[in-house]
């Protein structure tokens, strides 16, 4: 039963033009607000592109003005970082109990840990070194033009010579030397073979790629 009330079909013709126009304007406003909120989220992500630099026992890191650091990165204590290097999301460079030196055009990628051994074990990283996501380098020496794969672990006093690759997930044991121009892999890492021409190009190009990525992030922050 409808108690004499006849339901009416709602059509655009039955809605006053003023209400239609008002509803359309409300929809436009809501869409605009949603767009602003989405834009604000992206801006916030870019606006926080800055790491935390902290002293240890009064010693502050020395970081070249061109170094790029992202949100969540920490650089602590006696650390020097050269021009055009980059420290990415949630990486930790902790030069508290011994020095850390990082050269030019190095990329310390997401979730990397760089640390040292008390008084006896500094960490030296040369120029144009790529350190893949999640790698751990502890009180060792990495010379120029080296690629450290994702999740690799380098222990105290090991040395990685130039134009070498430490494969992802490898464990370079204490005191081991990775010869120049070689690929090492495994747990513990062992020499597998000489690097290929393509791998050599990758080692050479990777630092330039990360300089470019850093600039892209800077540009995005300026445009926001």
Peptide bond into 169 cis (omega under 30): no
Looking at the domain assignment, is residue 9 inside a domain? no
Q: How far apart are CA 79 and CA 98, in angstroms?
A: 9
101 lies in the same domain as 21: no
CA distance 170 to 164: 13
For the chain, how far is it from start to end, CA to CA, in angstroms? 60
Is residue 121 helix, strand or coil? Answer: strand
Which domain does 27 fall in, by range?
16-43
The answer to whether residues 77 and 166 belong to one domain is yes
Q: Are both 127 and 183 inside the same structural domain?
A: yes
Cβ neighbours around 20 below 10 Å, total: 11
pTM for the model: 0.78
* 6 domain residue, yes or no: no
Identify whether residues 83 and 193 lie together within a single domain: yes
224 residues of the chain, pLDDT tens digit each: 444 433 333 344 444 443 333 333 433 444 444 444 433 333 233 223 457 999 999 999 999 999 999 989 999 999 999 999 999 999 999 999 999 999 999 999 999 999 999 999 999 999 999 999 999 999 999 999 999 999 999 999 999 999 999 999 999 999 999 999 999 999 999 999 999 999 999 999 999 999 999 999 999 988 87
Domain count of the fold of the chain? 2
């Amino acid at each position: 039963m409808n108690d004499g009330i006849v339901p009416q079909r709602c059509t655009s013709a039955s809605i006053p033009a003023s209400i239609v126009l008002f509803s359309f304007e409300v929809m436009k406003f809501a869409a605009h607000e949603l767009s602003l909120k989405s834009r604000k989220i992206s801006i916030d992500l870019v606006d926080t592109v800055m790491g935390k630099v902290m002293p240890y026992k009064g010693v502050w890191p020395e970081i070249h003005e061109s170094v790029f650091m992202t949100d969540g990165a920490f650089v602590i204590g006696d650390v020097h970082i050269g021009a055009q290097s980059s420290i990415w999301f949630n990486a930790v460079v902790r030069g508290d109990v011994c020095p850390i030196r990082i050269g030019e055009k190095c990329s310390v990628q997401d979730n990397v840990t760089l640390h040292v051994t008390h008084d006896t074990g500094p960490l030296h990283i040369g120029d144009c070194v790529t350190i893949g996501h999640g790698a751990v380098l502890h009180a060792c020496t990495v010379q120029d033009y080296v690629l450290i794969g994702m999740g690799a672990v380098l222990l105290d006093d090991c040395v990685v010579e130039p134009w070498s690759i430490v494969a992802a997930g490898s464990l370079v044991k204490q005191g081991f030397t990775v010869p120049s121009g070689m690929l090492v892999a495994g747990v513990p890492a062992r020499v597998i073979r000489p690097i290929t021409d393509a791998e050599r190009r990758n080692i050479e190009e990777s630092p330039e790629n990360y300089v470019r990525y850093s600039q892209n992030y800077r540009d995005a922050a300026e445009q926001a």
